[in-house]
Structure 1
Amino acid sequence: MAISLKGDQKISIVPSIKSKALRINLNSDIYGTFAEIGAGQETARNFFRSGAASGTIAKAMSAYDKDFSDAIYGIEEDKRYVTQPRLKKMLGHEIDLMEDRLSRHKHPDKLFFSYANTVTTIDFAKKFKGHGWVGIRFQLDPLEEYNEIVLHLRFKETDARLQQETLGVLGVNLIYGAFYLNDNPKELVKSFYDNLDKDQLEIDMINFSGPRFMYVDNRLMSLQLLKNGMTNAVMFGPDGNNLLPAHVLYKKNILALRGSFRPVTKVNMDMYEKSKKLFFAENKVDEKNTKIIFEITLSNLRAEGEINERDFLDRAELLCSLGQNVMITNFQQYFKLVEYFSEFTKARMGLAMGVYNLIQIFDEKYYRDISGGILEAFGKLFYRDLKVYMYPYHDQETGEYINSENLKVHPRMKELYKFFKTNGKLVNIDDFDKNILDIFSREVLKMIIENKHGWEEMLPEGIAETIKQKRLFGYSRARARK
């Protein structure tokens, strides 16, 4: 990205799509294929239009007919075409053809690449706006293994032609970024929206792989999508690779637990185990068709100002070590989280939460930005097939255990709360472990940082060892001072 100076102020200049494509075309070493399915050949068209494309484009194709596509790339197990496995087959097949048909002796300095996309644009009824997979497999050294960037997008525009053009711009940005911004993955991710607006598309998943991205943590790249406003929710699995929420949650029963998990404690895991037991006991819940999500909000990550990426990765590391799927969202209000889940499933959902979070649900100040206020929010929240599992709070002054029966809400909310409770939406977690209720993540974190004894016993089995081994949450600094 070019930088110019105006006085003491730096101004970023975003290269045009034509100039990006031309720079690629004028690089005599970059050579590859374009395979685009579902939205025309808009990416390749940008390279043709910019000029000097003969030195860059080995082949441009679209296998629109399903039989032709299957003959070239094979048949997917699920018989679908707009999927990540399909995209990866396209990338691999085209690279294999490049290697097979072009002699390395004749082209010793060529950097091969294959760009592919498989998308579905908006339907005639304009009910489904469309989505797609886009990726590039590329070399940065002829003797080096291939690198790969794969992303998923959801269209926001309501016109098929505009969606095609948007895809073409994104494709150029991806190819340009792969070759010229690969040393700074964060800037590379930002560049996807060069010459685009966030009202045109959403990017909700990305994964980097290959030798040049060996030290890239894909969970951190997922966080960049959220920080840059490219999406409202990202998800990653126990292996640390990013997942597509729409794929993971499609037609599933969902149980979500929101928390800071800084670090994850015995209380968090007791809430998890007990709410899971209650959720699975529901007639409408199929255990085999259930996804359990540990959710952290972006506002929680920003609780102390700017997002601390090391702190974020520490939390992710622990939850992944417990074998959990983790979701980071921009949904501070619970009803927005439930609305998001409802895009993918109509099956029963559950939210597990402590007393403090439940009190927040009944606090009117959280709904000032909604025209219908708290009533509109509750309509959106409990219109769904939803249950809330409430984990109690131990009042150390009175010795009382606070649950739905003795919880005090604002007088104006009493009738709403009563309606909410008597309609079976709220379920108490009664078989909780009384011996751990006074454990709080913030106190455990303070003990770790200050190198105090006893914090290990407050965490689930194996978590303390992980913190020490991987020196999470400032443990290494604490030990160095000892």
Structure 2
Amino acid sequence: MHPKLTPKQKALAINLDRNIYGTFAEIGAGQETVRHFFRAGGASQTIAKAMSAYDKDFSDAIYGKEAKNRYVTQNRLRKMLRYEVSLIEERVSRETFPGRKFFSYANTVTTINFDKTMKGHGWVGLRFQCHEAEDYNEIVLHVKFNENDATLQQETLGSLGVNLIYGAFNYADNPRRMINSLLDDISKDNIEIDMIDFSGPAFSYVDNRLMSLQLVKNGMTDAVIFNSEGNNMLPADILYKKNIFAVRGSFRPVTLVNIDMFEKGLDLFKKDWGCSEEETEVLFEITIANLRAAGDIDERDFLDRVDILGKLGYTVIISNFSEYYRLIDYFAPYTNGKIGVAMGVNNMLDVFDENYYENLSGGILEAFGKFFRKGMRVYLYPYKDPETHQLLTANNLKVNDSLKELYKYFKHNKRIVDIQNHNPNYSEIYSRSILEKIASHNPTWEQEVPEGVADLIKERGMFGYKEELILKEFS
């Protein structure tokens, strides 16, 4: 276990390395990162230039105008990084300073407003070389501030910037360690990192979905989102003012039941609220608790699940929300649109289990106030009990006696809606059974997953599938 260095120690270590040389461009919260390097001493060997293009007109004159005059964006940050590196390349001779690795650090942020109605957020990034002869790498991340004072937010931002620069030059071969080091000397309560992206030759092997997973796993954020192409998405961008329809599951693997639940539930949701496809964001959610169900998180298993969902064209959210109400609470700040959740009847029993909410001072009533908020509906998919073969629906679901009237209230007010047009042929398809069939080389599982999924599982050897064993078994 390596001792954690303070921001001052990290800044000094960078300053004392004669081969690290670059610029700092900070917009929106002062020059908080470069301040550490100036104060540490020996900065003349490291800092080519430090600037804060605070005035928008002046900033536009340097980096160009932004669409809709939005300055706190990923696009603005990347423009800053690349422009500043191009200036170093243009103005500093490699021949005069052989061995130097150039970098540009930038941030564009907005801190908490005077009325404290907007907490503040921003983009932070670094463009850097691991070797003078190599192309540049980039690390870009999005942060949300939780402190209620602009000065404290500025100090947190400064420490984060130092950690990023030090981590890039010392842990480029270990991105997980780099991510862990980002919050050195920073409380997790002070800041949230809800998106990170690695690119460049040093990170050619890095899967950014796994890096997103680290953010949730390490408690740096509650949820991350990536699209069907596997690209990390900023939650605020993808959810802003949208209607949201979510499906939670293990998706190990995706079954015909999952798709039937999603499609039939979404049809009802759009019909109930008059939502168009363009106005609605669909999310397939996997919780960290589900990924940890068998112990430590198996990253290969995680990628198998999300690769299949991506192949089917779905956007995935990985969350730290064991309870459903926390998922709805997470969506609420991003949108005032409608929210729908599709779930199986067996999951609804968990929702109405009071033991689920022992951590809440207001208990189940507090949870229901957040879960069954205005404009939110649950679409219930029937569940066939594998032992009794009884089909459980919203009408015959047996909740605790003390909650019966509450359940009737939500059902009467259409907060809980039955998916009645489900496909009865899928009622005895269970994910666990499919995994058992894969393990026992019983090919009937192939008929229980969506088209194309079986081919991908066999091609990639997912979920324990071993073609050579199957060939021997059935030859």
Instruction: Tell me the TM-score range normalised by the shorter chain.
Output: over 0.9
Q: TM-score, normalised by structure 2?
A: 0.97
Cα displacement string for residues 107-134 of structure 1 (whole angstroms, at most 9, x for unaligned residues): 3321111100000001001111100100
CA shift, 1:397, in A, is: 5.5
Which residue in 1 is equivalent to 2:14? 24
The counterpart of 2:173, out of the listed 173, 176, 183, is: 183
CA shift, 1:193, in A, is: 0.8
CA distance in 2, matches of 1:126, 1:478: 62
Which residue in 2 is equivalent to 1:392? 382
CA distance in 1, matches of 2:161, 2:262: 42
The counterpart of 1:195, out of the listed 185, 207, 211, is: 185
Check conservation: 1:284, 1:348, Cα contact below 8 A.
no
CA distance in 1, matches of 2:176, 2:108: 25
Cα displacement string for residues 428-473 of structure 1 (whole angstroms, at most 9, x for unaligned residues): 1111111112111111122223322211111101111111222221
Which residue in 2 is equivalent to 1:9? none
Which residue in 2 is equivalent to 1:8? none
Is structure 2 residue 48 aligned with structure 1 residue 67? no
Task: Spell out the pairing of 1:228-377 with structure 2 (5 A cutoff).
Answer: 228-377=218-367
What percent identity do the matched residue pairs reach? 58
Q: Aligned partner of 1:385: which letter?
A: G
Segment drifting more, 420-429 vs 404-413? 404-413
Q: Secondary structure at the match of 1:90?
A: helix
Cα displacement string for residues 396-439 of structure 1 (whole angstroms, at most 9, x for unaligned residues): 56654321112221211110110010001111111111111211
Which residue in 1 is equivalent to 2:29? 39
Segment drifting more, 98-107 vs 435-444? 98-107
The counterpart of 2:405, out of the listed 402, 410, 415, is: 415
CA shift, 1:311, in A, is: 1.2
CA separation of 1:234/1:79 partners in 2, compared to 1, >3 Å: closer, same or farther? same
Q: Aligned partner of 2:190: which letter?
A: Q
Which residue in 2 is equivalent to 1:383? 373
Check conservation: 2:273, 2:338, Cα contact below 8 A.
no
The counterpart of 2:154, out of the listed 164, 180, 183, is: 164
Check conservation: 1:122, 1:128, Cα contact below 8 A.
yes
CA shift, 1:354, in A, is: 0.5
Is structure 2 residue 58 aligned with structure 1 residue 79? no
CA shift, 1:252, in A, is: 0.6
Check conservation: 1:448, 1:478, Cα contact below 8 A.
no
Cα displacement string for residues 85-143 of structure 1 (whole angstroms, at most 9, x for unaligned residues): 11111111111111122222323321111100000001001111100100001111122
Q: Aligned partner of 1:197: which letter?
A: S
Cα displacement string for residues 368-406 of structure 1 (whole angstroms, at most 9, x for unaligned residues): 111111111111212331011111112456654321112
The counterpart of 2:453, out of the listed 463, 467, 472, is: 463
Equivalent pairs, count? 472
Q: Secondary structure at the match of 1:360?
A: helix
Segment drifting more, 448-457 vs 306-315? 448-457
CA separation of 1:398/1:216 partners in 2, compared to 1, >3 Å: closer, same or farther? same
Q: Aligned partner of 1:220: which letter?
A: L
Task: Spell out the pairing of 1:5-16 with structure 2 (5 A cutoff).
Answer: 12-16=2-6
Q: TM-score, normalised by structure 1?
A: 0.95
Q: Which runs of 4+ in 1 moved over 6 A?
A: none
Cα displacement string for residues 37-91 of structure 1 (whole angstroms, at most 9, x for unaligned residues): 0111011110011111111111111111111111111112232011111111111
Segment drifting more, 469-478 vs 193-202? 469-478
CA shift, 1:157, in A, is: 0.8
Is structure 2 residue 86 aligned with structure 1 residue 100? no
CA separation of 1:149/1:391 partners in 2, compared to 1, >3 Å: closer, same or farther? same
Q: Secondary structure at the match of 1:82?
A: coil
CA separation of 1:65/1:73 partners in 2, compared to 1, >3 Å: closer, same or farther? same
CA shift, 1:163, in A, is: 0.6
Check conservation: 1:233, 1:329, Cα contact below 8 A.
yes
Segment drifting more, 93-102 vs 43-52? 93-102
CA distance in 2, matches of 1:188, 1:121: 25
Check conservation: 2:441, 2:470, Cα contact below 8 A.
no
Q: Aligned partner of 2:16: which letter?
A: L
Which residue in 2 is equivalent to 1:134? 124
CA distance in 2, matches of 1:284, 1:58: 57
CA shift, 1:479, in A, is: 3.9
CA distance in 2, matches of 1:442, 1:323: 24
Segment drifting more, 163-172 vs 440-449? 440-449
Q: Aligned partner of 1:151: which letter?
A: L
Q: Please give the root-mean-square deviation of Cα atoms over the aligned residues, in Å.
A: 1.5
Q: Secondary structure at the match of 2:228?
A: coil
CA distance in 2, matches of 1:475, 1:239: 24
Q: Secondary structure at the match of 1:175?
A: helix
CA shift, 1:480, in A, is: 8.1
Q: Aligned partner of 2:395: which letter?
A: E
Cα displacement string for residues 281-326 of structure 1 (whole angstroms, at most 9, x for unaligned residues): 1335232111000001111111112211111111111111111111
CA separation of 1:78/1:437 partners in 2, compared to 1, >3 Å: closer, same or farther? farther
CA distance in 2, matches of 1:215, 1:238: 19
Check conservation: 2:196, 2:211, Cα contact below 8 A.
yes
